[in-house]
């Protein structure tokens, strides 16, 4: 499942299509379209220019001319591929996981395509106008990589749900955005904090360490272009490399890289959690 580093990598790769004009849009899985239908969406976005592509939490926000936006959530298996030519109809038909296609024209009048593949078909494309953009942003929690996020804000976010376990807090998109199961496990290992601790039990120094390690782990993962454990690929179709640097995630039964204790797996909030019982207190 793409988390902050994977989505950021895709967003970085997609900067090259900023400035392109959308010449058409195709979809054979219109259930993915929210707040619009295929006919309306086509008439709304055809001829529009892509003004910006940014990340909000685990979402991709595509800003178009005319102050309209498309919010893309990749969910389980969504994949965006920027292809340097026009994807032909026959290729589209032969690729059963290719469900949406944005046809593009570059400023040099060359044709290219943004292909949206999705095996499980949970990904969504939401039409957003400038009026509901702020409303939407207000429902997404603080971004851990936002430079304006202070330790005080971070502490405030964590302590909003004091009874909840810290692992669940880190993954709560309304409190802190972008972190999922992989990075929550890795951040807590790096901060030496047990995933089952309640938020209110954390001391000031522990929260500071959590704050620092959240940024550190996410930044390192972006540098490695994300984690490709299942089917994540970047916008060029290539794997990330952070799976080679994981310390606890899916390493249960193996030795801790710091202390040789066997890494354990348990279930927290219906999600598998991986931790070192000795390093994490
Ligand atoms: Zn250990």
**Closest Cα partner for 6 from 279, 261, 239?**
239
Cβ < 5 A residues, ion ligand 1: 256, 258-259, 261, 276, 278-279
Is pLDDT above 90 for 42?
yes
Instruction: Report residue 259: phi and psi, to 5°.
Output: -130, 0
Measured from the Cβ of residue 130, the count of other Cβ atoms closer than 10 Å reads 11
Is pLDDT above 90 for 89?
no
Ligand 1 center to residue 199 CA distance, Å? 22
Say if residues 272 and 180 touch (Cβ distance below 8 Å): no
Ligand 1 center to residue 277 CA distance, Å? 7
Summarised one tens digit per residue, pLDDT across range 175-225 is 999 999 999 999 999 999 999 999 999 999 999 999 999 999 999 999 999
Say whether 162 is catalytic: no
Average pLDDT over residues 136-145: 94
Ligand 1 center to residue 168 CA distance, Å? 21
Helix (H, G, I), strand (E, B) or coil at 271: strand
Distance CA 253, CA 265 (A): 8
Distance CA 154, CA 108 (A): 45
Measured from the Cβ of residue 37, the count of other Cβ atoms closer than 10 Å reads 11
Is pLDDT above 90 for 98?
yes
pTM: 0.96
**pLDDT value of position 72:** 98
**pLDDT value of position 36:** 96
Out of 16, 92, 271, 278, the active site residue is 271
**pLDDT value of position 74:** 96
Ligand 1 center to residue 188 CA distance, Å? 12
Out of 44, 48, 58, 251, the active site residue is 58
Average pLDDT over residues 158-171: 97
Ligand 1 center to residue 249 CA distance, Å? 13
Out of 3, 6, 115, 186, the active site residue is 3
Say whether 3 is catalytic: yes
Per the listing, tokens 């195709």 go with 26
Ligand 1 center to residue 216 CA distance, Å? 19
Distance CA 229, CA 81 (A): 18
Q: What are 98's two structure tokens?
A: 């290719």
Ligand 1 center to residue 191 CA distance, Å? 12
**pLDDT value of position 230:** 79
Say if residues 118 and 73 touch (Cβ distance below 8 Å): no
**pLDDT value of position 90:** 84
Summarised one tens digit per residue, pLDDT across range 217-263 is 999 999 999 999 878 999 999 999 999 999 999 999 999 999 999 99
Say if residues 58 and 7 touch (Cβ distance below 8 Å): yes
Out of 2, 5, 144, 195, the active site residue is 2
Say if residues 206 and 214 touch (Cβ distance below 8 Å): no
Q: What are 20's two structure tokens?
A: 């392109």
Residues in contact with 50: Cβ distance below 8 Å, sequence separation at least 6, in sequence order: 17, 18, 19, 20, 21, 22, 62, 63, 64, 104
Taking all residues of the chain, what is their mean pLDDT, rounded to a whole number? Answer: 96
Say if residues 126 and 34 touch (Cβ distance below 8 Å): yes
């Amino acid at each position: 499942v793409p988390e902050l580093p994977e989505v950021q990598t895709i967003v970085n790769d997609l900067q090259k299509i900023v400035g392109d004009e959308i010449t058409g849009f195709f979809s054979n899985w219109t259930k993915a379209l929210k707040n619009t239908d295929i006919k309306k969406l086509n008439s709304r976005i055809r001829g529009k220019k892509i003004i910006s592509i940014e990340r909000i939490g685990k979402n991709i926000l595509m800003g178009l001319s005319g102050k309209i936006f498309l919010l893309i959530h990749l969910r389980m298996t969504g994949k965006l591929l920027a292809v340097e030519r026009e994807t032909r109809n026959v290729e589209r038909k032969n690729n059963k996981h290719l469900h949406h296609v944005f046809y593009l024209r570059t400023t040099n009048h060359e044709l290219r395509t943004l292909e949206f593949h999705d095996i499980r078909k949970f990904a969504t494309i939401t039409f957003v106008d400038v009026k509901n953009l702020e409303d939407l942003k207000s429902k997404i929690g603080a971004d851990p990589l936002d430079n304006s996020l202070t330790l005080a804000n971070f502490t405030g976010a964590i302590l909003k749900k004091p009874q909840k376990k810290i692992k669940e807090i880190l993954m709560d998109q309304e409190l802190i955005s972008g972190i999922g199961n992989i990075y929550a496990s890795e951040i807590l290992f790096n901060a030496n904090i047990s995933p089952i601790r309640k938020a209110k039990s954390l001391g000031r120094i522990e929260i500071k360490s959590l704050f620092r390690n959240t940024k550190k782990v996410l930044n390192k993962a972006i540098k490695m272009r994300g984690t490709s454990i299942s089917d994540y690929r970047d916008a060029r179709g290539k794997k990330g490399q952070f799976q080679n640097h994981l310390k606890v995630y899916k390493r249960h039964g193996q030795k801790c890289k710091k202390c040789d204790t066997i890494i354990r797996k348990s279930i927290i909030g219906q999600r598998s959690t991986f931790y070192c019982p000795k390093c994490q207190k």
